[in-house]
Copies of this chain bind each other. A is one copy, B any other.
Amino acid sequence: MAELVSVDDIRAAATRIAGRVVRTPLIPYAGGLPSTAAAGRAEHPLWLKPESLQPTGAFKLRGAFNAILQRLDDARAHGVVTHSSGNHARAVAWVARELGLRATIVIPDAAPAVKVDAVRALGATVVLVDPAERDTRAFELAAEHGYVMIPPYDDPAIVAGQGTIGLEIVADLPSVSGVVVPVSGGGLISGIATAIKALSPATRVIGVEPELAADATESLRRGEIVSWTAEQTYRTIADGLRTTSVGQVPWGQIRQYVDDIITVSEDEIRDGVRWLAADARLVAEPSGATSFAAWRHRFESLGVSGDVVAVVSGGNLAMDTLASLIG
C-alpha cells in the first residue's frame, strides 16, 4: 500500500502555491436554519470557505498548481495533459497559462460548449473524445508525446494541494468543531481531512454527496470503494459530483481520516444555491452548495456542536440556471 499523504506534504504544498491562489477568508453566515430563522446563527454558528472565489471559480486551482509546480521541469519540457469537462480542466489550463506551459485537455464531446470555450480561451488545446475514451485518450497522449499527466484527483500532489484549505481553516478558526465538504473523486475531502486531523484531531470531517450520486457514502459504509454507474450519478443537478467512484489515493486518506459521509436531496441542493446567494452573497454551483445544504437541512446528522465550516467548493454555473434557482 502506498504511503499516505501527510500534513507535511500539505504544508509544502501551501508554501509552493502561496500567492498563486486566493487565500480565501472564512465568511460568517448570518442566516439561520430553516426551523430557527434568524436565531440560527447564534445557536449553530456557520462559517463559509468560499473556494468559488478562486479565479477559475473552484478549489481545483490549488491541486493543479501544486501538482504542476512539483513537476515543473518536465512540464516545461513536454507540456501537460489532463481529462476533465469541468473545473479541473479550467484549473490546469489556467496554471499552464500562468506558467507559460503547453496544455492539452481531453474533454468528453458531450460537455457543454461554454465549458469547452472557457478552456480554449485560456489558450489550452482541447481534444474532444467520446465520453468512454476520456481517461484512456489522455494517457495515450501522455505516452505518445511525453506530456505530464495531471489527474483530477487520484494523485498525492493533487490531494496535498486541496489539503491547503484545511490548514487555512484551522489557522483562521482554531475552535472549529466540524468541517463539511462536498465529495466527488475524493481529492478535496481527503486533503482537508488529513490536515484537520493532524492539527485538530477532535474536529469532525463530514463529506456530503447528492442522494443520486452516493457512491462514497456507500463506500464508507461498506469499507471498500464502491462504484456507481454514470447513468446513476448523472441524474443529479450537482454536475461536479458525478464521478462514479472515489480514487485509490483519496480512498486511503478517507478511510483513515473522514468521520462520516452523508447525503442531501436535489431540492435541498437547489435551496442551498438560493440561500447562499441571498444571505451570503455567494454564487455557488449546485455541487458547491451541497455542504451548506447539509448544514441547513441535515444539521442533526452532522454530529457537531459549536462552529461549523462548510466548504463552498465552486461557483461555475450558467446564469440562466442560477436565475431559475433563485427567481
Q: A27-B55, A37-B121 are in contact. Are A277 and B22 (CB under 8 A)?
A: no
A59 to chain B, nearest CB (A): 12
Interface residues of A in 265-310 (CB under 8 A from B): 274, 277-278, 280-284
Q: Which B residues are CB-close (under 8 A) to A281?
A: 50, 52-53, 57, 282-284, 315-316
For A28, the closest partner residue in chain B by CB is B55
The verdict on A25 contacting B25 (CB below 8 Å), with A50-B53, A277-B319 known, is yes
Given the known interface contacts A282-B282, A327-B319, the answer about A122 and B38 at a Cβ–Cβ threshold of 8 Å is yes
**What count of chain A residues pass the 8 Å CB interface test?**
36
Min CB–CB distance A56 → chain B (angstroms):
7
Bound CA span A327–B319, Å: 6
A56 cross-chain contacts in B, Cβ below 8 A: 30
Q: Which residue of B lies closest to A32 (CB)?
A: B121
- Identify which of residues 230-286 in chain A touch chain B, using a CB-to-CB cut-off of 8 Å: 274, 277-278, 280-284
B322–A277 contact, CB under 8 A? Answer: yes
User: Can you name 11 A-B pairs with beta carbons within 8 Å?
Assistant: A22-B25, A24-B25, A25-B25, A30-B56, A37-B121, A50-B53, A53-B282, A274-B319, A277-B319, A281-B282, A327-B327
A residues contacting B by CB (< 8 A) are: 22-25, 27-30, 37-38, 50, 52-53, 55-57, 94, 121-122, 274, 277-278, 280-284, 315-316, 319-320, 322-324, 326-327
